[in-house]
Chain A
Amino acid sequence: MLKNNRIYNFFLATAFIFSLTANCFGFDLGEKVVKAKLKNGLTVLMLERHISPTVALYIRHLVGAVDETKGESGAAHLLEHMMFKGTTTIGTKNYPAEKILLANIEQTGVALDKEKRKAQKADPVTIQNLTSQLKKLQIQHKQYIIANEIDRLYTENGGLDMNASTGQDVTTYNVSLPANKIELWARIETDRLLNPVFREFYTERDVVMEERRQRVEADPDGKLYEQFLNSAYKVHPYGRPILGWTQDIVNLSPDAVKKIFAEYRAPESIVIAVVGDINPPKTLKLIEKYFARIPANNKKKNVVPAEPPQTDERKVEVLFDANPMMIIGYHKPTAPAYDDYVFDVLETILTKGRTSRMYNLLVTEMQIAESVSASNGIPGTRYPNLFTISAKPRHPYTNAELEVIILKEIEKLKTEPVSDAELTKAKNQLKMEYIQSLDSNTELASTLSYYEVLLGDFRYFSNYLTTIEKVTGADIQRAARLYLNSKNRTIAVLNKKKD
């Protein structure tokens, strides 16, 4: 009771402050974020916004592709797909009957994969028998399945953008709902964390293979990106694709997926963000009612091997039936290191806007590139990451010609400090991006939960612009000298396949 009163008082206080400042600046929104921790260790962030009668709901797990065992790449992503297959009470006509069949399907599938792995030595008759047995079981199983029930429940209740995504660092489940339907979300999400049923496993594995074809095998950008990361990281799992290598995906077992799922169950690694037309004390009560039943886990996280310092420049070439493009990347520390902010500013100075250094030079002045884009923080934030420059030469110029100019520009950063005007412009742009991001429930829920789950405290960002403000030309020069060296560099190029 007492605790509830405290929540109430807290809200009175903030509402008062907010009304005084609401009309002068949107930054005050930050004061309204309520953070709570359930007894089992699950973190909840809430933010009231009454612009529309809707709510954005994000669940983030500190579990991603980096947590996979070697040889099982793609397991985290396949699990994310399996999480849409229902629970013991959602998506079934008769769970007890299903359970027996599911065990049979798994057994047959595992045996089939095992035989197929023998490659040349595999017995074609065994493969044929197991294949038809699996097919038969799958058809039998269908009679018990009510497919796509989670999606049906959400859309039918007005849900929008129901989705999930797997990253190297984090896996996310999100949906937006009319504000009166939060309980539906709590009901479904708790259930799938406690009682998921991984139906249609082998069919879904085929779907993921199609996803890989779509995003990598038939897409030059995807192909180059994959090879680039695989060269830049030799030891750390950031070098593996989130989707998984083909040979790993085709062999993924239900066990590999269950292993990752065990990590999901740790409420200490879960952050929920609810942004929209809510009453936080009531919303919290509802969340507590459902999510408190997930038992605390206290399991230690697996140690991910660190990437040793790079000692020599690495180069990789991909041949593809497509026009040339390239990625240049340098290892650097991740947030919240000060130098990570420095690279945010540098990224803006180099390629944000038409007057940015590299866009202006390569696209407008020299006219040798179709596009150029710098990115800080590839491919994740949990571990030391990369600062990259991606560019596409304009015909008839080549990757090699473009590379010379880009590297010359990078050298310039070491010898001449950037001007104050460039710095101010970059800081204006970062500030604008920040303000624009406050404009949507979805973005707010996404951002709050992302930083809370990765860095343990969303308030890391309360000082983001303050720290950005401190970055000087000398900082950029120092960081360029320290990190943007040939020995610390990976260059991946995609060139047109000759017939």
Chain B
Amino acid sequence: MILIKMNSKIIKTSISYITFLFIVLLLTVGFFATIASAEFPLPSPDKIGYPPLHFNLPEAQRIVLENGIVLYILEDHELPLISFNALIKTGSMYDPEGKEGVAQLTAYVMRTGGTTKLSSTEIDDRFDFLAASLSISMAMESASVDFSFLSKDVDQSLELLAQILIQPAFEQNKFILARELEIEDLRRLKDDPQRLAFREFNRLIYRNNSRGRFASMKSLSKIERDDLIIFHKQFFSPDKIMFSVTGDITKEQAVNKIHQYFGKWETNGLVTKTPDLPQKINDGLYFINKEIPQSTIICGELSVSKNNPDFYAFTLLDFIIGSGGFPSLIFSAVRNNEGLAYSAGSFYRAKPDYGIFGAYAFTKTQSSFKTLSLINTVLKKAKSNTITNKEINWAKKSINNGFIFSFLEPRQIALQQMKLEYDQLPLDYLLSYRDKIENVKASDINRVAAQYLDENNRVYLILGDTKRFGQPSISFGKPVVINPAD
């Protein structure tokens, strides 16, 4: 999902705070600190001298088990917790034609449908009693497992996980329940303008591609339990999976435990053809009618891949255009200057072999076209050598100074390394990242802007009260009205 910069939370429930509880055993109480300090003029915030930042980036170790499972390990004994993560080479883009939703249901029912050794009820009871949370989520181009448990429960937890990954039972009644809940979710998706708009945007941008297919009432009704069994067999196999284990466990222990619970898992040997890459499409303006007082505006196009040398220049360009928060161009133009939106910006999803670049804003019905024009003007202007050195320096500094936050905790570090391998990126990707950003020249940024920002390849989508949009000041062509399928 796209990161939308939020400036405040409206619904602040204490439930989130209750999860943040903290035990404190303070030794001393209410402990003073009143060093008298004379007032001094506040220094210029751009001229404060900072001490150097010293750090060594910890690295996860990579081990390959005999059956091909790749395992990343990073120890961290601060808390009595172990985090287990996995990435699986699969995704909803592998849904069988006409049965869109199979991948999603497979992941869900693996968790909820019992195993060949334990019924679904027994599995649920055990997880809840251990207070261990396991989620298996299916994305468009991968699946992931997120599991966290107390280190004292390592055996029970991994035993349950192994059964679920290797021998799920897909109990019929749990399959039916999952399908019904999925149908309910589709029904409710239409109540959420942003979710609906982004799904339809994806459908448009991935037109004629297996990534552009989504579950519908119709496709779900065609899915049977056997479809899940087949999907699981095809994709959940040691040669298609990578693990990361971090936290309160030694490297030896981690290797032994993973070997104990997953060592006998055999590779299915099935080769799966990766779906074709998305192709450039023609531009167009699309409307979705929904009678609400605010429009959701999204536009976007196919763009630079991660393996393209221009990736770094485009990353900076995207930051300047709309990902860099308040000072970025779209945010400034739409929110700051005109007060037309609370959320506005750009997004750049770079995959190893293709990328998607887009922009969005949520604005009141009457200003739909005005906002769309503002966004389009920013994109147009960016193409004509207008990105300044000041903007580029700001973007470079921001990205490179903030880079350290990619290494906050062991789980994140191991996951990151695993993701690199999954994406088949060069091993020095992270190490060289900052240098490559630093070395991008102003001319590179202006070149990639001119080369890749492409109006003729851009999809414009507005979801809102179409009757009240009014007339655009510049023409975006004749709109095509979409009626999203159930």
Contacts and interface: CB of A to CB of B under 8 A. Distances in A.
Interface stretch (B17-25, B297-305, B308-316): B17-25
Interface in B47-105: 48, 50-55, 76-81
Given A38-B33, A52-B404, A33 B148 contact: no
A136 to B, nearest CB: 15
A151 B35 contact: no
A381 interface: yes
B45 interface: yes
B397 A157 contact: yes
Interface string A430-442: 1111111111110
B140 interface: no
A222 B11 contact: yes
Interface stretch (B176-184, B203-211, B259-267, B440-448): B176-184
A160 interface: yes
A162 B398 CA distance: 13
Contacts of A380: 12, 14
A436 B340 CA distance: 39
Interface in B1-28: 6-15, 17-28
B30 interface: yes
A31 interface: yes
Contact of B48 (A184, A215, A447): A184
Nearest to A225: B11
A167 interface: yes
A61 interface: no
A80 B400 CA distance: 29
Interface string A362-375: 01100100100001
Contact of B32 (A36, A206, A433): A36
B132 to A, nearest CB: 8
A37 B8 contact: no
A74 B140 CA distance: 40
Interface in A196-241: 200, 202-211, 213-220, 222, 225, 241
Interface stretch (A98-106, A302-310, A458-466): A458-466
A448 B325 CA distance: 27
Interface in A250-295: 284-285, 288-289, 292-293
A364 B50 contact: no
B405 A176 contact: yes
A105 to B, nearest CB: 14
Interface stretch (B158-166, B222-230, B236-244, B286-294): B286-294
B398 A156 contact: yes
A444 to B, nearest CB: 7
Nearest to B39: A293
B12 A379 contact: yes
B112 interface: yes
B127 interface: yes
A243 B10 contact: yes
Given A51-B408, A178-B401, A425-B129, A84 B7 contact: yes
B21 A207 contact: no
A217 B184 contact: no
A490 interface: no
A113 to B, nearest CB: 15
Nearest to A378: B13
A88 B57 CA distance: 40
B316 to A, nearest CB: 13
A206 B177 contact: no
Contact of B24 (A204, A289, A459): A459
A395 interface: yes
B14 A433 contact: no
Contacts of A128: none
Contacts of A26: 78-81
Interface string A419-459: 00000110011111111111111011011101100000011
Contact of B30 (A13, A37, A432, A437): A37
A296 B403 CA distance: 39
A74 B169 CA distance: 53
B212 interface: no
Given A285-B35, A440-B409, A208 B342 contact: yes
Contact of B185 (A147, A241, A370): A370
A147 B364 contact: no
Interface stretch (B270-278, B330-338, B422-430): B330-338
B55 A450 contact: no
A212 B80 CA distance: 42
B53 A288 contact: no
Contacts of B131: 425, 428-429, 431-433
A462 B404 contact: no
Nearest to B130: A428
Given A355-B128, A377-B15, A461 B39 contact: no
Nearest to A282: B51
Contact of A151 (B9, B28, B326, B400): B326
A354 B48 contact: no
A447 B336 CA distance: 32
A321 interface: yes
Interface stretch (A114-122, A186-194, A474-482): A186-194
A347 B15 contact: yes
Contacts of B46: 153
A376 interface: yes
B42 A187 contact: yes
B326 A152 contact: yes
A394 B292 contact: no
A23 B9 CA distance: 37
A158 B397 CA distance: 7
A181 interface: yes
Nearest to B149: A432
A437 B22 contact: yes
A378 B364 contact: no
A183 to B, nearest CB: 5
A33 B24 contact: yes
Nearest to A77: B8
B478 interface: no
Contact of A447 (B17, B150, B341): B17
A461 B13 contact: no
Interface string B329-355: 001100111111111000000000000
Contacts of B451: none
B380 to A, nearest CB: 21
Contacts of A179: 53
A323 interface: yes
Interface string B159-199: 00000000000000000010011011101100111000000
A14 interface: yes
Given A52-B408, A288-B35, A458-B24, A203 B337 contact: yes
Interface of B: 6-15, 17-35, 37, 39-40, 42-46, 48, 50-55, 76-81, 112, 121, 124-125, 127-132, 148, 150, 177, 180-181, 183-185, 187-188, 191-193, 290-294, 324-327, 331-332, 335-343, 362-364, 394, 397-398, 400-405, 407-410
**Closest 8 interchain pairs by CB?**
A158-B401, A377-B14, A206-B339, A26-B79, A151-B326, A432-B131, A322-B191, A148-B326
7 contacts: A53-B53, A89-B42, A151-B326, A158-B405, A163-B8, A428-B131, A438-B22
